[in-house]
């Protein structure tokens, strides 16, 4: 069994891997991990190489934590290798592939409701690229929440790693006057980068 991750620097994927290994342990299956986004930076050619290697090794199945390219999903299907997308969606032309996701849209609405109830009306949403399909519903939910609660939201995109988040937020804050009341981080690596920047700003 193979798990295709989108950056093992994200602790979320480490917890996911632990759960998968725990579930497969009674069956004595071996789990291998393939990272297509080393240090949070997605590489298309790396995805292609990984898919070819998994097919060559005749892996029993694939769990993918990001939306694979349509041609790679088709390759797995042609070789009768089952694929399940976790916390991600299948390609648009392969909607029949199973997918397990959280309700990112309504979760984002709840985040916005919570902020509004505390009187916060100026938000900044730091988010990763659209290659990670969870971006769409998370951003849609935050934008809709802002409209519902008459709040203002700035969306900042950066690569999916803490250093990129540090740099992007630093640029934004240098131009944003006054400083936004709220920072919403799209995931753990971006949160870590944002916290690092804020610690440096407060120390100056």
Residue 152: per-residue pLDDT: 95
CA nearest 62: which of 18, 72, 142, 70? 72
Residue 203: per-residue pLDDT: 67
Residue 180: per-residue pLDDT: 85
**Cis peptide leading into 49, omega within 30 of 0?**
no
- The 10s digit of each residue's pLDDT in 110-144 is 999 999 999 999 999 999 999 889 999 999 999 99
Residue 204: per-residue pLDDT: 60
How many C-alpha atoms does 136 have within 13 Å on its Cβ side? 10
- When computed from its CA atoms, the radius of gyration of the chain, rounded to whole angstroms, is 19
Residue 39: per-residue pLDDT: 73
Kindly give the pairing relationship between strand 122-127 and strand 32-35: unpaired
Residue 14: per-residue pLDDT: 83
How many C-alpha atoms does 78 have within 13 Å on its Cβ side? 10
* Residue stretches of the chain with pLDDT short of 70: 9, 203-204
Which whole-number Å values give the CA distances from 152 to 89, 122, 123, 143, 182, in the listed order? 29, 5, 6, 9, 10
What is the pTM for the complete model shown? 0.84
d(CA 198, CA 97): 41
Strands (E), 87-151: 99-100, 122-127
Which whole-number Å values give the CA distances from 39 to 10, 64, 140, 190, 196, in the listed order? 9, 17, 26, 12, 17
């Amino acid at each position: 069994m193979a798990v295709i991750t989108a950056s093992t620097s994200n602790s979320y994927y480490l917890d996911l891997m632990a759960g998968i290994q725990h579930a497969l342990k009674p069956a004595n299956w071996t789990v291998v991990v393939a990272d297509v986004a080393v240090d949070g930076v997605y590489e298309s050619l790396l995805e292609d190489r990984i898919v070819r290697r998994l097919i060559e090794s005749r892996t029993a199945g694939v769990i993918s934590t990001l939306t694979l390219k349509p041609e790679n999903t088709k390759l797995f299907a042609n070789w009768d290798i089952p694929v399940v997308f976790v916390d991600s969606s299948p390609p648009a032309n392969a909607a029949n592939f199973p997918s397990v996701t959280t309700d990112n849209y309504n979760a984002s609405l709840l985040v916005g409701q919570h902020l509004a109830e505390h009187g916060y009306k100026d938000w900044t949403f730091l988010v990763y690229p659209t290659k990670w399909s969870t971006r769409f519903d998370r951003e849609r939910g935050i934008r809709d929440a802002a409209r519902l609660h008459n709040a203002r939201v700035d969306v900042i995109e950066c690569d999916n790693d803490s250093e990129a988040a540090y740099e992007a937020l630093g640029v934004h804050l240098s131009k944003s006057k006054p400083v936004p009341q709220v920072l919403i981080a799209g995931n753990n690596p971006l949160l870590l980068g944002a916290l690092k920047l804020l610690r440096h700003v407060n120390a100056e």
